Amino acid sequence: MKKLILALILLAMPAMAQQPRVLRIAMTAADVPTTTGMPNNGFEGMRFLGYPIFEGLVLWDLSRSDQPATLRPGLAESFAQDPNDPKIWIFRLRPGVTFHDGTPFNADAVIWNFDRYFLNTSPQFEPAASGISRARVTILESYRKIDDMTIAMTTVRPASYFPYMVVYLLMTSPQSFEQAGRDWARVALLPPAGTGPFRLSRVVPRQSAELTRHDGYWDRTRIARLDRILLLPMPEANTRMAALRSGQVDWIEVPPPDGIPSLRQAGFTISTGSYPHVWPWFFQMEGDTPFRDVRVRQALNYCVDRTGMVGLLNGTAEPSVGWLKPGDPAFGTPDNRYSFDPARGRALLAAAGFNAQRPLTFRVLISPSGSGQMLPLPMNEFLQQNLREACGVQVNFEVAEWNTLLTAVRSPPGAPILNGAVSINPSSPSSDHSVAVRYFMRAAFPPTGFNWGQWVDPAFETAMGQLESARDPAAATAAFALAHARLVDNPPWLYIVHDLNPRAMSRRVRGFTPAQSWFQDLVPVEVQ
pLDDT value of position 250? 98
Q: pLDDT tens across 92-102, in order?
A: 999 999 999 99
- What whole-number percentage of the chain has pLDDT above 70? 96
Decide if domain 277-499 falls under CATH 2.40.420.20: no
Name 68's bridge partners: 516
- 372 pLDDT band, cuts 50/70/90, is confident
Q: With beta carbons less than 8 A apart as the criterion, state whether 507 and 267 touch.
A: yes
For residue 331, the Cα-to-chain-centroid distance in whole angstroms is 21
Q: pLDDT tens across 414-460, in order?
A: 999 999 999 999 999 999 999 999 999 999 999 888 999 999 999 99
| Cα–Cα distance for residue pair 326/331, rounded to 1 Å | 6
Q: Between the CA of residue 57 and those of 39, 198, 518, what are the distances in Å?
A: 17, 17, 19
Per CATH, the number for 54-179 is 3.90.76.10
Q: With beta carbons less than 8 A apart as the criterion, state whether 141 and 156 touch.
A: yes
| Cα–Cα distance for residue pair 244/264, rounded to 1 Å | 12
Residue type, 497: V
pLDDT value of position 19? 65
| Cα–Cα distance for residue pair 510/382, rounded to 1 Å | 36
- 249 pLDDT band, cuts 50/70/90, is very high
Decide if domain 20-50+196-272+501-528 falls under CATH 3.40.50.1370: no
Residue type, 178: E
**Least confident interval from 50-54, 437-441, 471-475:** 471-475
Does the pLDDT of residue 515 top 70, yes or no? yes
Does the pLDDT of residue 345 top 50, yes or no? yes
Same fold, 54-179 and 277-499: no
Domain limits, the chain: 20-50+196-272+501-528, 54-179, 277-499
- What whole-number percentage of the chain has pLDDT above 90? 89
**What is the mean pLDDT of the segment spanning 263-269?**
96
